[in-house]
């Protein structure tokens, strides 16, 4: 009897913790997501699903809005090692707008286009995450693939494309195929690079890696130790040995320090698939004809 009471007490405590910790300040069911905005003391987060393991989409500290809280947003900054002065930036997948805001501060002269399919996410980013838009920073409510196709028709190009459209629950399969990557590649400027925030677990890892390699050749990747994120970095013209030499690591480190990004650490952790390929040579490619990304991710 005593034991049972004790168990009940612990259960209640656990339940309380999970509820009391983060206060939900906004809740919205959109066409694509269950959107939750939570406040946990100083920390404000955007979540796309309550129960999933990869719930937190975007977070910031209200007292220090510049600091990048999330591992993967920090990881994405490693793209600056390969292209330190991006003038035209395309971000696919807005989240809370953290990437856009950070890059705006780092490169006030740059032009940033944000593409987000969910109007509700755009609104939440504006209302709760201080997402800044102006003459140089635009937001388009559109499917990423359609935006890229239209941008190609308009003969545009970007120095840095950041693909951040995979939130872990449902993968837009048409954004993982060889044909899509070819379109994205065609949209890159001569020195342009593409960073993709994506997966490192599940069967999909090999398929995705093989597809990126087929389109771009060898690439860099950096993964987090703690969670399952990995960033793939590819460039329009492949990577030469000189890519890193031209970069003043110390200057970049000082520039990124206020955002809590340790670029030297990222630099050490970056792996070139030329030296270490962690998937089979015979892996099938993902194409518009064959893209069961969600089925592969579930297995």
Partner 1 sequence: MKDITNTQTYPDVLIYLLAFTSGFSIMGIELLGGRILAPFFGSSVHIWGSIIAVFMLSLSLGYLLGGKLSTRSPSLTIYGLIFLFAAITLLPIILFSQSIMEAVFINIEDSRYGSLVASMVLFFIPTVILGMLSPYSVRLLVKNSNESGQVAGKLYFVSTLGSALGTIMTSFYFILWFEINPIIYNYIGVLACLGLLAIFIDKTQKTDKAELSHV
Place of tokens 């194409």: 287
Q: Does 133 bind partner 1 (CB under 8 A)?
A: no
Beta pairing, strands 111-116 & 88-92: parallel
Q: Which residue, 106 or 152, has its beta carbon nearer to partner 1?
A: 152
Q: Which residues are identified as catalytic?
A: 164
Q: Exactly one of 114, 177, 229, 297 binds partner 1 (CB under 8 A); which one? A: 177
User: 40 or 288, CB closer to partner 1?
Assistant: 288
Q: Which is nearer to partner 1, 8 or 295 (CB)?
A: 295
Instruction: State how far the Cα of 299 lies from the Cα of 286, in Å rounded to an integer.
Output: 16
Quick one: how far is CA 275 from the chain centroid?
Answer: 25
Q: What is the rounded distance in angstroms from the CA atom of residue 129 to the CA atom of residue 126?
A: 6
**Nearest one of 210, 209, 170, 202 to 297, comparing CA atoms:** 202
Window 108 to 127, contacts with partner 1 (CB under 8 A): 117
Q: Is 159 among the residues that bind partner 1 (CB under 8 A)?
A: no
3-class SS of residue 116: strand
For residue 170, the SS3 value is: coil
Q: How far is the CB of 288 from partner 1 (least distance, A)?
A: 5
Q: Which is nearer to partner 1, 180 or 219 (CB)?
A: 180
Angle at 113 between CA 110 and CA 118, to 5 degrees: 150
Query: Whole-number minimum distance, CB 292 to partner 1, in Å?
Result: 5
User: Between 144-153 and 178-186, two packed helices, what is the crossing angle to 10 degrees?
Assistant: 40
In the bound complex, what is the minimum distance in angstroms from residue 160's beta carbon to partner 1?
Answer: 23
Interface with partner 1, residue 173, by CB under 8 A = yes
* Nearer to partner 1 (CB atom), residue 143 or residue 262: 143
Rg over CA atoms, the chain: 20
Binding region for partner 1 (CB under 8 A) out of 55-63, 107-115, 168-176, 229-237: 168-176
Exactly one of 96, 168, 172, 192 binds partner 1 (CB under 8 A); that residue is 172
Which helix or strand (DSSP H or E) is residue 246 part of? none
* Residue 211 lies near partner 1 (rule: CB under 8 A): no
CB 82 within 8 A of CB 233: yes
Contact 259, 61 (CB under 8 A): no
Contact between 169 and partner 1 by CB under 8 A: the answer reads: no
Size of the site for partner 1 (CB under 8 A): 24
Residue 235 corresponds to which tokens in the numbers above? 């460039």
**88 lies in the binding site for partner 1 (CB under 8 A):** no
- Indicate whether 31 belongs to the interface with partner 1 (CB under 8 A): yes
Structure-token pair, residue 278: 């962690």
Q: Which residues 134-153 are close enough to bind partner 1 by CB under 8 A?
A: 142-143, 145-146, 149-150, 153
Residue 179 engages partner 1 in binding (rule: CB under 8 A): yes
The helix/strand/coil state of 192 is: strand
H-helix or E-strand spanning residue 233: strand 229-235
CB of 172 or CB of 192, closer to partner 1:
172
Q: Which stretch in 89-97, 100-108, 174-182, 222-230 sits in contact with partner 1 by CB under 8 A?
A: 174-182
Containing 125, the helix (H) or strand (E) segment is helix 119-128
Q: Is 291 in the site for partner 1 (CB under 8 A)?
A: yes
Positions that interact with partner 1 (CB under 8 A) = 31-32, 117, 142-143, 145-146, 149-150, 153, 172-174, 177, 179-180, 287-292, 295-296
């Amino acid at each position: 009897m005593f034991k049972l009471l004790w168990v009940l007490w612990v259960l209640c405590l656990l339940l309380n913790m999970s509820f009391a910790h983060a206060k939900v300040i906004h809740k919205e069911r959109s066409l694509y997501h269950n959107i939750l905005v939570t406040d946990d003391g100083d920390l404000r987060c955007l979540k796309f699903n309550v129960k999933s393991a990869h719930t937190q989409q975007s977070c910031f500290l209200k007292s220090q809005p510049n600091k990048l809280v999330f591992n993967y947003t920090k990881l994405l900054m490693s793209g600056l090692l390969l292209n330190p002065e991006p003038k035209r930036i395309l971000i696919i997948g807005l989240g809370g707008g953290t990437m856009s805001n950070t890059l705006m501060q780092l490169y006030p002269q740059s032009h940033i286009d944000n593409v987000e399919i969910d109007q509700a996410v755009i609104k939440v980013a504006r209302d709760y995450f201080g997402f800044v838009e102006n003459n140089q920073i635009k937001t388009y409510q559109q499917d990423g693939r359609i935006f890229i196709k239209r941008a190609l028709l308009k003969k545009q190009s970007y120095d840095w494309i950041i693909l951040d459209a995979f939130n872990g629950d449902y993968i837009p399969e048409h954004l993982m195929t060889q044909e899509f990557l070819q379109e994205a590649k065609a949209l890159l400027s001569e020195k342009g690079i593409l960073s993709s925030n994506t997966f490192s677990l599940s069967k999909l890892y090999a398929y995705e890696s093989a597809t990126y390699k087929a389109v771009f050749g060898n690439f860099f990747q950096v993964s987090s130790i703690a969670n399952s994120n990995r960033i793939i970095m590819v460039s329009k013209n492949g990577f030469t040995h000189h890519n890193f030499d031209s970069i003043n690591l110390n200057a970049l480190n000082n520039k990124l320090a206020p955002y809590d990004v340790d670029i030297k650490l990222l630099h050490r952790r970056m792996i070139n698939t030329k030296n270490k390929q962690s998937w089979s040579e015979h892996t099938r490619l993902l194409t518009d004809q064959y893209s069961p990304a969600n089925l592969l991710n579930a297995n």
